[in-house]
Amino acid sequence: MIGGGIGSFFGPVHRMAAALDGQAEYVCGAFSADPDKSHRSGQELYLNPARVYADYQEMVAKESALPLDRRIDFVSIVTPNVYHFEAAKLCLEAGFNVICDKPMTGNLAEAKALKSIVAKSHKVFALTHTYTGYPMVKQARFLVQQGALGKINKVVVEYPQGWLAGFLESGVTAATMWRTDPQKAGVSLCMGDIGIHAENLVRYVTGLKVEKVCADVSHFIPGNQLDDDADILVRYQGGVKGMLSASQISTGEENGLNIRVYGTKNGLYWNQETPNYLTLKAKEGYTTTYSKGNKILCPAAQNAARLPPGHPEGIIEALANIYLEAFRAIRDGSGKRKNTIYDFPNVDDGVIGMAFVETALASASSDRKWMEMLSTEK
């Protein structure tokens, strides 16, 4: 693991998720830019001190020197955003598979560059858009693919959070957190942290790509150099309309990512805070709610559940599902994956996500005009 040391929020979650099903074990790490903190973190994790490194450069160098049967199979990258690119590049070029937190990079240019690096590496690169790991999100995707919704006309996706609202009256500025620091977060706070999940969720469920956006991206927190609220009108392929919003100042909201898709036959609703349920709303006037773990679900949804219906599973399990798919790809031998489809977000998703973020920011800074999606090609 690179990053994720003491005090990290998502580092432990990655460790739990990766280890949940007994298919992987973290054996080494460079847990912090601060070597001392890295070593203390390794100690807390009961790691062999010899395999706890001062920085990721050292880690990649020393691990690469180990015999194949002792060498690590993959690296999880959970550093602040701007370090993802260099860390991933180094790992991939050294022949390690990579599982990387989102946003994939600090900006779009790096994202495109990373795509080339992944292609050359013939290694697995998985991006942890965690929410696509939920069973009922897979069922949503299945229902859309089966035509249960008819032709899609409209997609509404929201990602409201309120945690930054705490700063609004407190007089504290946002300057102390890495997420609010452009030097560590990259081009965006709110869009990069959560807006990017919203775009990914839409595309995962519906397959629709964004064509144009008109984005009102701004910030409310005093001293915030980056965005903390984004409301976006979207036009997808084929005339599909939509709204996409992401906010960190929606007071009292916790982590309310939710999606509604309206087709000619049915509407669909899923909410991350009640992740084990999925609702279909029929044109004829009744709603059907599906729940995790039942045998009437599609195979992907069934496989993504570890427990019977009514036994709640959460976000750790969702992330673990992404790890499981990445492990499957790794076991298959990273470069020989012909005719196999792996159900995890990959480097293409990362490029599209960063293009979406930069397009929204560009629209917002051009008097909030409509703007075509930036190219994801070089």
299 binds its own copies, rule: CB under 8 A: no
Minimum distance from residue 146 beta carbon to its own copies (Å) = 15
267 binds its own copies, rule: CB under 8 A: yes
Crossing angle of helices 315-331 and 10-19, rounded to 10°: 60
256 binds its own copies, rule: CB under 8 A: yes
Minimum distance from residue 117 beta carbon to its own copies (Å) = 31
- Interface of this chain with its own copies, residues 329 to 348, rule: CB under 8 A: none
Length of the chain: 378
Q: Are 320 and 133 in contact (CB under 8 A)?
A: yes
185 binds its own copies, rule: CB under 8 A: no
Amino acid at site 338:
K
- Interface of this chain with its own copies, residues 145 to 164, rule: CB under 8 A: 149-151, 153-154, 156, 161-163
Of 63, 110, 227, 313, which one interacts with its own copies (CB under 8 A)? 313
Other CB atoms within 10 A of residue 90 CB: 21
Nearer to its own copies, 286 or 377 (CB): 286
Piece in contact with its own copies (CB under 8 A), picked from 59-67, 93-101, 180-188, 315-323: 315-323
Strands 125-127 and 97-100, by their bridges, are parallel
3-state secondary structure string across 159-224: EECCHHHHHHHHCCCHHHCHHHCHHHHCCCCHHHHHHHHHHHHHHHHHCCCEEEEEEEEECCCCCC
Site string for its own copies, 6-35 (x = CB under 8 A): ---x--xx-xx--xxxx-------------
Identify the three-state secondary structure at position 147: coil
374 binds its own copies, rule: CB under 8 A: no
Nearer to its own copies, 64 or 291 (CB): 291
Of 66, 109, 172, 307, which one interacts with its own copies (CB under 8 A)? 307
Other CB atoms within 10 A of residue 23 CB: 14
Amino acid at site 281:
K
- Interface of this chain with its own copies, residues 31 to 90, rule: CB under 8 A: 45-46
284 binds its own copies, rule: CB under 8 A: yes
321 binds its own copies, rule: CB under 8 A: no
Piece in contact with its own copies (CB under 8 A), picked from 69-77, 118-126, 264-272, 328-336: 264-272
> Starting from the edge strand earliest in sequence, which strands make up the sheet with 74-78, in order?
2-3, 74-78, 97-100, 125-127
315 binds its own copies, rule: CB under 8 A: yes
CA distance 2 to 101: 11
For residue 271, how many C-alpha atoms fall within 13 Å in the half-sphere facing its CB? 9
Of 182, 273, 335, 366, which one interacts with its own copies (CB under 8 A)? 273
How many binding residues for its own copies (CB under 8 A)? 88
Minimum distance from residue 122 beta carbon to its own copies (Å) = 26
Identify the three-state secondary structure at position 90: helix
Which among 369, 359, 298 has a CA at the least distance from the CA of 148? 298
Of 33, 94, 148, 168, which one interacts with its own copies (CB under 8 A)? 168
Crossing angle of helices 347-365 and 196-206, rounded to 10°: 120
Of 3, 29, 133, 275, which one interacts with its own copies (CB under 8 A)? 275
238 binds its own copies, rule: CB under 8 A: no
Nearer to its own copies, 21 or 86 (CB): 21
